[in-house]
Amino acid sequence: MDALTTISQEHSNMWRLATTLDHVASDMQAGAPLEIAFFEAALDYITQFVDRMHHPKEDDFLFRLLRLRSTEAAEVLDALEADHARGPENLAQLRAKLAAAAQGQLPVAELAVAIKRYTDGLKGHIRTEEKQVLPLARKLLLPQDWAEINQAFRSHSDPVFGDQARAEFRELFHRIASLAPDSVGLGASSVGSLQAPATVQPVLLKVEGLESCYGRIKALKGITLEVRKGETVALVGANGAGKTTFLRAVSGVQAISAGSIHFDGEDISRLRSDKRMRRGICQSPEGRQVFGPLSIEDNLRLGAYTQPKHQVAGDMEKIFTMFPILKEKRALPAGTLSGGQQQMLAIGRALMGRPSLLLLDEPSMGLAPLLVEEVFNVIRTLKSQGMTILLVEQNAFAALAIADRGYVLETGTVTLTGTGEDLIHNEQVRAAYLGM
């Protein structure tokens, strides 16, 4: 992607956010309560985005080279750079007002006015860049300038810093989307409200000392793990660590030799897999395993075989709303779908069982980067709707970035556990799984 495309995309994201802030501020002026968590998340996003990515890139490359090529640009660039420099302070003032309003020391309506003043400034800034600076840049910059700028933007998104930064922004953006009042929706399908903190939720899945063998080889050597209602828990680890074996043991298709599995308070250690499915443990298996010759509809129906007939058609429509491509191709054999589409189908099939615990085994495996992102977006959406998810991934970074908590598995043993964020920042994890 070239630098201009990146900048324009970032502008349109900022514009959407500014419009969203305006919208919520108007609601507040009309008497709606203060959405403190939403505003904090939005301001966090702007802080990280502005300070760490967008403005420095513009100042150091685009603006600097444009100044070299044109004196006519100087005035507008001066103004924009002054805006950039003032940005953090403006934001700090807004945060102070937000804190004051949260403590009842500032009327909410006054905060709303300050927010609108801020977003007006932001929108004016973006408009000036789009309408004046970018056209000038297109006209005046030389090919070698563009080579330097594009190079700079590419190196800014190198796999260590760039991807990490983007993952953080996505997480923040997701938080903003989840926290936004229903009336906003950010153009996506409606997202439910954010879960209450996981610690107050009851334990849904409790696994203790679980062991499982293939012949004389012990693949799981005493795994203890729990998932609370509404949590997304990531189980990460290298190939062969035992992730799949663990998920299969939970869903009941893999025998266990020691330990116990409790689900919603009930001991299900010896329960048949179809009975576990009836209780809401639904799995999207490694490698998708869709039935190639069967139609997409029939694949989805298979996922609902434990469900009463009358709800199947309605549930299928919900899956189609989530994955429009599956609706388009509903009558075609599943084997004609691309890898990414088959993954959507595998997840859709699991959802047809109305899971209360969704088990996802390597949903991003073998997919192109863009599709990997799409799969994680889907997981994020499910999470925001309150689904409880146990996610197995070799793609440790992406999985931990969206997980509330994570477990690191090494040759059948849990070696580390913590919040997703702790694990991402853990040196050992970074070295072993994130390639850092």
Interacting residue ranges for ligand ADP, rule: CB under 6 A: 214, 217, 219, 237, 239-245
Nearest CB to ligand ADP, comparing residues 30 and 217: 217
CA–CA separation, 118 and 124 (whole Å): 10
From the list ligand ADP, Mg ion, none, partner contacted by residue 210 (C-beta under 5 to 8 A by kind): none
Among 178, 244, 384, 388, binds Mg ion (CB under 5 A): 244
Shortest distance in whole angstroms from residue 430 CB to Mg ion: 22
Shortest distance in whole angstroms from residue 214 CB to ligand ADP: 3
Nearest CB to ligand ADP, comparing residues 287 and 324: 287
From the list Mg ion, ligand ADP, none, partner contacted by residue 240 (C-beta under 5 to 8 A by kind): ligand ADP
Nearest CB to ligand ADP, comparing residues 187 and 215: 215
Q: Which residues pair with 295 in a beta bridge?
A: 333
State which of positions 86-145 bind Mg ion (CB under 5 A).
Answer: none
Contacts of 201 (CB under 8 A, 6+ apart): 195, 228, 229, 230, 231
Shortest distance in whole angstroms from residue 335 CB to ligand ADP: 24
Nearest CB to ligand ADP, comparing residues 195 and 283: 283
From the list Mg ion, ligand ADP, none, partner contacted by residue 242 (C-beta under 5 to 8 A by kind): ligand ADP
The pair of structure tokens assigned to 5 is 């495309």
The pair of structure tokens assigned to 366 is 């073998």
CA–CA separation, 355 and 371 (whole Å): 24
Nearest CB to Mg ion, comparing residues 250 and 316: 250
Residue 64 backbone dihedrals phi, psi, to 5 degrees: -60, -45
> Mutual orientation of helices 339-351 and 369-384 as an angle, nearest 10°?
20
Residue type, 311: Q
For every residue of 16-35, DSSP letters joined together read HHHHHHHHHHHHHHTTPPP-
- H/E stretch holding 359: strand 357-361
Nearest CB to Mg ion, comparing residues 208 and 286: 286
Shortest distance in whole angstroms from residue 433 CB to ligand ADP: 12
Shortest distance in whole angstroms from residue 319 CB to ligand ADP: 26
User: Any contact of residue 299 with Mg ion (CB under 5 A)?
Assistant: no
CA–CA separation, 221 and 218 (whole Å): 6
Residue 113: closest CA among 130, 129, 98? 98
What are the residues binding Mg ion (CB under 5 A)?
243-244, 286
